[in-house]
A and B are shown apart, each in its own frame.
Chain A
């Protein structure tokens, strides 16, 4: 018996990474800013995105959204009320979106051309673990955290928080009754991802939305 070592040095998620790189090049060529929204279930991604879509459209920008869930098209129907084109991705048990699912749902999306959009929002499956491994070709990964979840979420899920480009705290309107320790939450986010932009928002009252929309507009302008 002869044993040998064969060096591979290959990324295990190479296929996803290659596909994501192709998507990223496509987004750049189309001039569309793509954001991947990630959080645990119940953080309020959909409510935050509903409000974002409405306001982005009201400012005269063009936006669309892909939304991932294991089952149902409830979120797509909620988001579509904003007037933006929305497409549901049902993963049927898979805990994250991957680049292949995104590519498949962008293809043949009736009435949507990337080149005619300013923003494409991707609402990932509610999960703070698995989505961190799967690049969707996005420019900005946004991690969301609600005031009801506990200020130590960033410490418990450092992988995802560390991979994010921006953080959004949701449900700020109920921060006080929840006993939310704002300073501690900000400190924990910064401990895991030093220097990250943090937005403190409420989809209900609209608090913090202006700053968030300003950030989006600046990032979108930065693409050109």
Chain B
């Protein structure tokens, strides 16, 4: 349920973006949609891909690829003053000094990063 509503939202946003493109690129076909998905976004890219085919049917996104780029958690450590990537999500501590940190700088993203389109123009 959750994945399908997320995928529908992706289709809607990309369709709106296409409609706002300059006239020469109207009717462009989408080849790829690239996402940024934090490991704490509670979304599995594979599950999104599974629903994507259904949700994109009959839209300008039909036949395109959905690519999820997974981002690890990054926490800021007050003791070190540095941002560090966490290897997992079982312990929110600075990997350098072990200090606990609730100051998250990355890991919850659920964004459309970019789309690759074929605007149909023939190269001269």
> Do B2 and A130 touch (CB < 8 A)?
yes
Q: What is the distance, in angstroms, from A102's C-beta to the closest C-beta of chain B?
A: 16
Which residues does chain B contribute within 8 Å of A159, judged by CB atoms? 40-42, 89
Given contacts A94-B1, A159-B40, A9 and B115 within 8 Å (CB-CB)? no
> Do B90 and A155 touch (CB < 8 A)?
yes
Is residue A224 within 8 Å, beta carbon to beta carbon, of the partner chain? Answer: no
Is residue A133 within 8 Å, beta carbon to beta carbon, of the partner chain? Answer: yes
Q: In the complex the two chains form, what is the Cα distance from A129 to B1 in whole Å?
A: 12
Partner of A190, one of B1, B6, B100: B100
Given contacts A2-B121, A12-B9, A191 and B111 within 8 Å (CB-CB)? no
Which residues does chain B contribute within 8 Å of A193, judged by CB atoms? 92, 102
Identity of the chain A residue whose Cβ is nearest the Cβ of B112 in the assembled complex: A8
> Do B13 and A12 touch (CB < 8 A)?
yes
> Do B114 and A6 touch (CB < 8 A)?
yes
Identity of the chain B residue whose Cβ is nearest the Cβ of A14 in the assembled complex: B13
Q: What are 16 sample pairs from A and B whose C-beta atoms fall under 8 A apart?
A: A3-B119, A4-B116, A5-B115, A6-B114, A6-B116, A7-B113, A8-B115, A10-B13, A12-B110, A12-B111, A94-B1, A95-B2, A162-B40, A191-B90, A191-B100, A192-B89
Q: In the complex the two chains form, what is the Cα distance from A133 to B25 in whole Å?
A: 34
Q: In the complex the two chains form, what is the Cα distance from A195 to B123 in whole Å?
A: 59
Partner of B2, one of A7, A133, A162, A163: A133
> Do B115 and A6 touch (CB < 8 A)?
yes
Residues of B within 8 A of A (CB-CB), count: 41
- The 4 closest A-B CB pairs, nearest first, are A194-B100, A158-B89, A130-B2, A8-B112
Is residue A1 within 8 Å, beta carbon to beta carbon, of the partner chain? Answer: yes
Is residue B43 within 8 Å, beta carbon to beta carbon, of the partner chain? Answer: yes
Given contacts A2-B119, A8-B17, A12-B110, A129 and B6 within 8 Å (CB-CB)? no
> Do A158 and B90 touch (CB < 8 A)?
yes
Q: What is the distance, in angstroms, from A13's C-beta to the closest C-beta of chain B?
A: 6
Partner of A194, one of B90, B101, B122: B101
